[in-house]
Amino acid sequence: MIIVNEDWCKGCGMCIERCPVKALEQSDKLNRRGVYPPRLKENNNCNYCRLCELICPDFAITVIPDENLLKKTVKPKLIPVRRVRA
């Protein structure tokens, strides 16, 4: 899931330009700053790389990876730590 805080966007277009799979496009709705924030394209290949989130100068994008993808990844095992008394 990609969450765009639309009113924080200043319309620089960096996220749209830099997305490696061209998953973003300009929306057709002006925000409070008078610019068109990005949105995910209808059919997109977003891989949740988070590049858009990281490069946005206004912190307007939050990427929440697909839960199904997370389930497939291997979760790190917890390693028990033994306390040693001094």
Query: Which residues make up the interface to ligand SF4 (CB under 6 A)?
Result: 2, 9-15, 19-21, 23-24, 37-38, 46-52, 56-58, 60-61, 63
Tell me how far CA of residue 51 lies from CA of 42, 76, 81, in angstroms: 19, 24, 35
**Helices (H), strands (E): how many in the chain?**
3, 4
Nearer CB in complex with ligand SF4: 15/28: 15
Could you tell me the smallest distance in angstroms from the CB atom of residue 66 to ligand SF4? 10
Nearer CB in complex with ligand SF4: 38/72: 38
What is the rounded distance in angstroms from the CA atom of residue 27 to the CA atom of residue 7?
13
